[in-house]
Structure 1
Amino acid sequence: MRRADRLFQIVQYLRGGRLVTARQLGDWLEVSERTVYRDIADLQASGVPIDGAAGVGYILRDGYDLPPLMFSRDEIVALVAGARLIRAWGGAGMARAAEEALIKIEAVLPPSLKTRTSQIEVHAIAPEMTEVVRARIDYLEAAADSRKRLSLTYSDADANPSERVVRPLGLWFWGKVWTLVAWCELRGDFRMFRLDRMADLHDLGDTFRQERGKTLKDFYRLMEEQGYRERT
């Protein structure tokens, strides 16, 4: 790891208002405590408001913002390509945020690197995306974040509809199809619902609590044990 990258990581680890020891930083960064002490001293000398002392720990004062960042070419490609993919395949809110992110990325780059963003020939086109699906992505992402129980009508691959009450846990993107990972109260199990097969989607006005065996982590563990198979 370059020293500049290590200094940046130290600042990131110190965010959040918690005390972090030099030993912890050394373990995370895979360097000695002596190196951490030297890096902390250099950061403090450059004006970064780090409080603390050796043997006690360090904390970053609230309100500190990093100066514009330098990106490698590979990092620029990854950021621009990712933003373009989300702009093409994400929800309406995601697409707007991706567009704003691209503007901000260019704003922090020096002139020598700004031209590279326009030269990155990685693009995404999504003719299958509709405004209905885009709005549904944003709606379900917000519902999963706030843990709102939802009611919906879902049609399987044979177009057979069924009424479901679900606990939205997260969204998965499969290249051309978005699916909702949820705990289905009808099946009493995890299910994945294609967004383009949903209808009559609305929240029930209440929220759900995380319960053992019904969380997204439990779903991931189940997928690792059994391998993916479509569940509806």
Structure 2
Amino acid sequence: MSRSQRLLELLQLLRRYRYPVSAEELANRLDVSVRTIYRDIATLQAQGAEVEGEAGLGYILKPSFDLPPMMFSLEELEALRLGAEWVAKQANGEFSEAAIDALAKISAVLPSGHEAKHTESVIRVASTLNAPELTVKLTELKTTIQKEHKAEILYEDAKGSISKRVVWPIVIGMFEQHNVLLAWCEVRNDYRNFRLDRIQSLLPLESKYERSRHALLVEWEALEGIEHKRFRY
């Protein structure tokens, strides 16, 4: 590919990561040398891209709400549509309206003759049926996670026993029938998965995690043998 095309590919690649990514990984993804990545990063920085980091530490693109204009391929639009439809059709989807609005905004800025407006979808997302109602609000739990605050929960296990736990919420997993909270449990002194529909109450606490959420997530992924690419969202 041409150098200008490679610079655009590098910029797009950096957008995907939430945490610093090494020059070696970027080089492998673009099939170039590490030295080339160093030069390209310097070029992007000189052109105004807010790329932070340095050789040996990794690079990250500073988040900004002022995104430049971008063009999506048909495959990218299809992926966005499928993801938004899945969120919108969740029985307990507190983000359903946001997903629908996002789809409408994407459609609104596409030219009237764009192929995506006239393509019959061959992949569709089915509605989630019989998902149990939640006592916990996802937005409240999400805020607690983002602030890295501990939380006190009343949890009902599969046998119907209720216990009080202090947990460090790490991430919410959205599955077909259940939403699951991954957290560090102070009672068990270990990582535990909690079905959200079994959490009877959640009280965010003022105290913060004793380790960073990022460190906890990386450790859990290593224990589970998960190779997770940290995309920016």
TM-score bracket, shorter-length normalisation: 0.5 to 0.7
| Residues 123-161 of structure 1 deviation map (CA, whole Å, 9 limit, x = unaligned) | 23124346636x622222221111111111111111111
Residue of structure 1 aligned with 2:125, choices 107, 123, 126: 123
What amino acid is the match of 2:223? L
Quickly say closer, same or farther: Cα 1:67–1:24, change in 2 above 3 A: same
* Cα drift, residue 106 of structure 1: 1.6
Alignment-derived partner of residue 187 in structure 2 = 186
| Residues 168-199 of structure 1 deviation map (CA, whole Å, 9 limit, x = unaligned) | 01112232111111111111111110001011
Q: What stretches of structure 2 of length at least 5 have no aligned partner?
A: 16-22, 50-60, 227-233
The residue correspondences of 1:80-159 to structure 2 (distance < 5 A) are 80-89=81-90, 92-110=93-111, 111-116=113-118, 119=121, 121-129=123-131, 132=134, 136-159=137-160
* Cα drift, residue 8 of structure 1: 3.0
Instruction: Give SS of 2:130's match.
Output: coil
Quickly say closer, same or farther: Cα 1:66–1:145, change in 2 above 3 A: same
- Structure number with bigger Rg: 1
Residue of structure 1 aligned with 2:47, choices 36, 46, 50: 50
The residue correspondences of 1:192-231 to structure 2 (distance < 5 A) are 192-210=193-211, 215-224=216-225
Between the aligned partners of 2:193 and 2:24, the Cα distance in structure 1 is 43
Task: Indicate the percent of aligned positions where both proteins have the same amino acid.
Answer: 30
Quickly say closer, same or farther: Cα 1:36–1:198, change in 2 above 3 A: closer
TM-score, structure 2 length as denominator? 0.67
Equivalent pair of 1:91/1:138 in contact (CA under 8 Å): no
Structure showing the higher helix proportion among its residues? 1
Quickly say closer, same or farther: Cα 1:203–1:113, change in 2 above 3 A: same
Q: What stretches of structure 1 of length at least 5 have no aligned partner?
A: 16-21, 44-48, 53-59, 226-232
Between the aligned partners of 1:9 and 1:69, the Cα distance in structure 2 is 13
What amino acid is the match of 1:125? S
What amino acid is the match of 2:9? Q
| Residues 4-49 of structure 1 deviation map (CA, whole Å, 9 limit, x = unaligned) | 864532444688xxxxxx99976652247889989x99x9xxxxx8
Equivalent pair of 1:182/1:190 in contact (CA under 8 Å): yes
What amino acid is the match of 2:152? S
Equivalent pair of 2:87/2:95 in contact (CA under 8 Å): yes
Looking at both structures, which has the greater relative contact order when contacts are Cα pairs under 8 Å and sequence separation is at least 6? 2
Quickly say closer, same or farther: Cα 1:141–1:211, change in 2 above 3 A: closer
Between the aligned partners of 1:109 and 1:13, the Cα distance in structure 2 is 23
TM-score, structure 1 length as denominator? 0.68
